[in-house]
Structure 1
Amino acid sequence: MGTQTSGKYRGILAGQLVLLLILIALCELLVRTEVVSSLYLPAPTQVIKEMLELFLDSEIYKHIYVTLGEFVVGYGVSVITGIAVGMFLVLVPWAEKFFRPYLSALMAIPKVTIVPLLALWLGIGVIHKISIVFLFCFFTIAINTITGIKQTADQHMKVARVFEASRYQTIMKVILPSAAPTIFAGLRISAATGLVGALFGEMLASKDGLGNILVKATSLYNTAQAFGIVVLVTLVSVLLIALIDLLERKVFMKWKSS
C-alpha cells in the first residue's frame, strides 16, 4: 500500500513538472516568435539570465536581507500578538462580546488606506515596513486562532475536567493542540501576505529591499528583471510556507500522536 501511494505521489510530481516545462516552453516560443512583445512578457531564458546577474552582483544579498528582516520582525510580532489576542478573546468569557466589534471594524479597514498614514506617523524607515507586515498578518492569525479554539471538542474539555487539569494544562494539552491546524492555516496564509506587505512598503518608499529593485526595474522597462524579482519573492514565499509546514509536523503532529 505504501509503495502504491509513493508511486502515485511521484506520478503527480512528474505531471506537475511536465506541465510547468510546457508552460515555460510555450512562453519562450511566444516571445521568440514575437507573437508577444518581450516588453510585456519576457522570455523565461531572459528571466533566468537576469536572476543570475542579480545574484552575481553582491548587492542583491543586502536587499534580500533587508526585506526578510522586515518580514521576520513584523511577522513574528503578529504571530505572538495574534495568537495571544485570539486566546484572550475566547478564553475570557466577556472579552469576545466586548472587543469583537472593534476587531471586525479594524479588520474591515482597507490596509492600503492606512499605509500612507503610517508613513506620516512613523516615517519611511524600517518601522514603517514592519508595521505594514504586521497589519497584513495580524488579523488573519487572530481570527484563525479564535476559530480554532472554538472548534475544541467538548468531550476533550470534559476529560480535562475529570482529570482535574489546571488552567495552564488545559490550554497547553487540550486547547492549543485542537486549535493548531486552524492556527497553522492562518500562519501559512499570513506568511505569504506578510512578505507581499514588506514588498508593498518598499515599493512605496524605500532605498533598499526587493521592492525597491522591482520599482527600478519597472521604471526602466526592464521587464525581465521585474519578473526575476517576482519569481524570487515567490520562491521565498514557498520556502516560508514549507518551513511552517515542517514546524506543524514537528510540533502539532507530536502533540497529536501523544
Structure 2
Amino acid sequence: MNNDKPGRFRGRIIIGQIALLLLILGFIEYAVRQGIIGSLYLSEPTRVIKEIILLFTQGELFHNLAVTLQEFLAGYLLAAVAGIGTGLLLVLIPRAETFFGPFLSSLMAVPKVTIIPLLMLWLGIGLSHKIAIVFLFCFFTITYNTITGVKQTAENHLKVSRVFKASKMQTIMKVILPSAAPTIFAGLRVSAATGLVGALFGEMIASKDGLGNLLVKATSLYDTAKAFAIITIVTIVSVLIIVLIDLLEKKVFLKWKSS
C-alpha cells in the first residue's frame, strides 16, 4: 500500500499540471477570440495547432529543422569535447589553471551578442558561422561545470587510487570522471538549451534557412500564429534534447560507472 502512494501522488501532480495548462490555454483562446487581447500580440492555441500541422504537411519544417539541428549538434559536440577536456586539464595541471584562468573568465564575460557580427566577417553567414555561435554559447558552461565537478572529487577516493597504484588515466576514468559526472551532465543539460538558442539567434541575424529564419519571416509578416507554432516546435525539440541527455546519463554513464 505504501509503495502505491508515491505513484498516486505523482499521478495527481501530472493531472493537476495538465489541468492548469488547459486552463491557461483556454483563457488565451477566449481572450483572443473576444478581442480582450489583440491577435497581433497573441494567437489562439487552436490556430497555433493548425499552423504546426501546416508546417509539417507542407514540408517547410523538415528542411529548416534539419539545418538547425545540424548547426546545433556540430557546435554542441565540439563544445562538449573541448569544454570537458579544458576543464580536466585546468584542474589536473594547477599551474595551467592559475595562468589561463583569468583569460578564460575574461572571455566568458564578453557578451556573445557583440561577437556575432565579428564572426560574420570572419566566417561568413554559412554553416561555420552558426557552429561557432553554438560553440560559444555552450563551451564556457561545460568548462566551468567540469572544473567544479572535478574539484569536488573526494580526497579519500584519490587516496584509494594511489594505494592501488592506479595510473593517471585510470584515476581519471575510474575516479575523477565518475565523481564529476553529475555536475558535468548538469552543464551539458543547461548548455543544450542555450546552444539551441544560439543556433536560432545566428539564423535570425543572417541565414537563408533554419527555424530562426522561419521565425523572422513569420514575425516580419505579423503572422503571430505561425511565430508561436515555430516557438512551440523549438521548445519541444529543446525538451527532447534534454531528455536524450538524461537517458545518456542514466542508460550509458551509470552502467559504465557501476562497472
TM-score by length of 2: 0.97
How far, CA to CA, are the matches of 1:182 and 1:175 in structure 2? 12
> Where does residue 181 of structure 1 map in the other structure?
182
How far, CA to CA, are the matches of 1:16 and 1:60 in structure 2? 29
How far, CA to CA, are the matches of 1:175 and 1:218 in structure 2? 48
Check if 1:118 corresponds to 2:119.
yes
> Where does residue 191 of structure 1 map in the other structure?
192
> Where does residue 70 of structure 1 map in the other structure?
71
> Where does residue 151 of structure 2 map in the other structure?
150
Residue pairs, 1:97-176, within 5 angstroms = 97-176=98-177
Aligned residues: 258
Deviation at 1:249, TM superposition (A): 0.8
Deviation at 1:257, TM superposition (A): 3.8
How far, CA to CA, are the matches of 2:252 and 2:181 in structure 1? 9
How far, CA to CA, are the matches of 1:156 and 1:2 in structure 2? 35
Cα deviation code 1:85-129 (max 9, x no counterpart): 000000112110010000000000000000000001110111000
Deviation at 1:240, TM superposition (A): 0.3
> Where does residue 40 of structure 1 map in the other structure?
41
Q: Secondary structure at the match of 2:32?
A: helix
> Where does residue 225 of structure 1 map in the other structure?
226
Cα deviation code 1:179-207 (max 9, x no counterpart): 00000000000000000000000000111
Check if 1:204 corresponds to 2:205.
yes
Deviation at 1:256, TM superposition (A): 4.8
Deviation at 1:242, TM superposition (A): 0.3
Q: What's the C-alpha RMSD, in Å, of the aligned pairs?
A: 1.0
> Where does residue 247 of structure 1 map in the other structure?
248
Cα deviation code 1:196-245 (max 9, x no counterpart): 00000000011100011100000000000001110000000000000001
Q: Which amino acid aligns with 2:24?
A: L
Segments of structure 1 that go 5 or more residues without pairing to the other structure are none
Deviation at 1:255, TM superposition (A): 4.4
How far, CA to CA, are the matches of 1:213 and 1:123 in structure 2? 20
Segments of structure 2 that go 5 or more residues without pairing to the other structure are none
| Alpha-carbon contact 2:174-2:257 (below 8 Å) kept | no
User: What percent of counterpart residues are identical?
Assistant: 64
Deviation at 1:169, TM superposition (A): 0.9
